Amino acid sequence: MGFMERLGKVVRAEISAITHAGQRRSTVPQAATTTPPGAATTPPTRTPLVTDVDGALRVLELTGEPTLDVVRQRAHELARHYHPKTTSSDAEEARAARLVVQALTEALEILEEHLLPVAPVPPSTPPTLVIDP
């Protein structure tokens, strides 16, 4: 079983958990869920699906130390393959495909940060003191 099939199972399990959590949330009394007018609401924090370089390489099904061009090409291929518009029209599968594409995007961002060369920081020169005679 390939990584993407396993990821699909994880995504379906996550969707199931989200759906069940949403059903539990709907049983909360309405008065407890309303916010007063003008109150600031904070958006829910989203946990990233990919957090490290090794995880990003696993998501993109790459091994070793690939080049940036190889990483971008592989991310493009997988995103095209798993894009919600190319998968089934089933809502659950489309949602799972969106999560897979989101994981691919996060993996690409992490690997780009890891593989892009870092520009050297020029040494700072101390300020010169000029005295007028």
Under a CB-based contact definition with an 8 Å cutoff, are residues 24 and 15 in contact?
A: no
pLDDT in tens, 44-53: 666 777 788 8
pTM above 0.75, yes or no: no
CA distance 15 to 52: 23
Tell me, what's the pLDDT at 14?
Answer: 56
| Token code pair at residue 11 | 């995504």
Does the residue 123 lie in any domain? no
Whole-number average pLDDT of the chain: 74
Ordered alpha helix ranges (H), 83-132 = 91-115
Domain count of the chain?
Answer: 1
Give the H/E segment covering residue 15: helix 3-25
Question: Which position has the higher pLDDT, 133 or 79?
Answer: 79
CA 95/CA 93 separation, integer angstroms: 5
pLDDT of residue 76: 93
Q: Indicate whether 104 belongs to any domain.
A: yes
Residue entry with tokens 């995007």: 105
- For residue 79, pLDDT beyond 50: yes
Between 108 and 120, whose confidence is greater?
Answer: 108
Average pLDDT (107-124) is: 84
Mean pLDDT of 10-39: 51
Q: Does any domain span residue 33? A: no
Nearest-angstrom CA–CA distance, 33 and 27: 10
Instruction: Indicate whether 130 belongs to any domain.
Output: no
pLDDT digits (tens, 9 = 90+) for 26-43: 334 444 455 556 666 666
Task: Give the mean pLDDT of 55-72.
Answer: 90
Question: Is residue 99 assigned to a domain?
Answer: yes
Task: Assess if residue 101 is contained within a domain.
Answer: yes
Full residue range of the structural domain in which residue 93 is found: 1-8+48-116
Does any domain span residue 26?
Answer: no
